Structure 1
């Protein structure tokens, strides 16, 4: 790897928060109690697979307005503010990461996930599944059509709310290089109040997770667009969850 990328930039570990962060309560149980396992001990399949060349992407896999809707006309569409989420996956030198799998999942416009353990009182949307996937093109570009998720309360504190956000997974060349982050929306006043965001001590790290309104890509009389570029490594890397 060093021969192929002679100017490899190592990840700045100071950019990442401590894995044990009591202010974010679930980190107490989720933080590792044992030493991490070196990737050198992983099997060849873990270091090299999966290969996405033969992955079949459905027509609506990246269109959350359509991929869970009920049969019918306009009444079968999800409820909420329609948006386009798009951007590029690039490396530390600005070069595109092509043909990699990008997955996303989110709450509906009321702030509720389609998950059996989500008991928030907001209703489920029968026409919204909340998950999507796509492959990046040769220029590293990806695109989703969805609804803007709503904020929701969570029991981290007495009155703690998560900002509107979309979870994003970038697979990279293998399962062992998978990176996961969250995309927030520009101008959301809940971002600095979130205990998860507060574990990041560098304001620039927070900014890497904030999508920008992109009027040039918005569709008149249809939906706004938000651009979220993912930098997988280097000085300008996007903050990723450990």
Structure 2
């Protein structure tokens, strides 16, 4: 993401990112470029301008996936709540120097507890949850903090080979100052035995890149008799940047 002080820019190490053509991740074979990429030296005004999220009007439950797909959020007790392990996902959006990125749009989407997305092309046999939409959004606060309440997604199979499974994960997007600076990543859950088996994860050469995409259990933020909390900080640029899948 751009920084006002270009002299402090730390270029990213492209050897840290996976190759575009990674045969173990089969869909990369068809969609990897056949010619050298074109570098755009000077971005245009349309790429650098807005949107300005400071005036974005969010709904009261936009960051609460337990309630934002419920037909009646005012229902009492557990009536109409989604099935699954309740969790909090939180963290800070910062630059490589730890400076917060305030008032930036953070979006997330995920499968339900059974590992199925609410998407017409998802044909996995796990059932849809009528009370779970699987999407949320919020703005980071003045100190860069963001927060979501949701359920822990389930793993799911995918046709990469005979028995490939995606680890449980949550997709996270942070917008930055303009559309062109949008960054997208995935958060995995620490200790998941499927992480080292995933063909997508294995396109990364450096274990530290995988570590930047791993949410850490935070018992101090967990709520007794309610939900566990996972911290997932987003470092948007620099030498200690979170691995973002659209920045190869």
TM-score, structure 1 normalization = 0.95
Q: Secondary structure at the match of 2:200?
A: helix
Q: 2:175 — aligned with what?
A: 171
Q: In the alignment, which residue of structure 1 is the partner of 2:118?
A: 114
Query: 188-197 or 23-32: which moved more?
Result: 23-32
- Offset, 1:22: 1.2
Gaps of 5+ in 1: none
Residues 10 and 120 of structure 1: is their aligned pair in 2 closer, same or farther, counting only changes over 3 Å? same
CA apart distance, 1:235:
1.4
1:4: Cα distance to partner?
Answer: 2.0
Supply the distance in 1 between the matched residues of 2:50 and 2:234 (Cα, whole angstroms).
21
Partner secondary structure for residue 149 of structure 2: strand
Deviation digits for residues 137-190 of structure 1, max 9, x if unmatched? 111100000000000000001000000000000111111011110000010000
What is the TM-score normalised by the length of structure 2? 0.93
Report the count of equivalent residues: 242
- TM-superposed deviation, 1:36: 3.8
| Structure 1 counterpart of 2:193, from 173, 189, 194 | 189
Alpha-carbon shift at residue 233 of structure 1 (Å):
1.1
Give the equivalent residue in structure 1 for 2:224: 220
Q: Deviations over 1:33-91 (max 9, x none)?
A: 45545445654122222121221111100000000013343220000000000000110
Aligned equivalents of 1:30 and 1:170: distance in 2? 24
Cα RMSD (Å)? 1.5
Aligned pairs (5 A) from 1:197-236: 197-236=201-240
Q: Specify the alignment match of 1:58 in structure 2.
A: 59
The answer as to whether partners of 1:70 and 1:126 remain within 8 angstroms in 2 is no
For structure 2, list consecutive stretches of 5 or more residues without a partner in the other structure. Answer: none
Tell me the residue number matched to 2:69: 68
2: CA distance between counterparts of 1:2 and 1:129?
A: 35
Which residue of structure 2 aligns with residue 135 of structure 1? Answer: 139
Q: Measure the CA separation in 1 of the matches of 2:230 and 2:3.
A: 35
**Distance in structure 2 (CA, Å) of the matches to 1:9 and 1:77:** 45
**3-state SS in 2 of match to 1:195:** coil
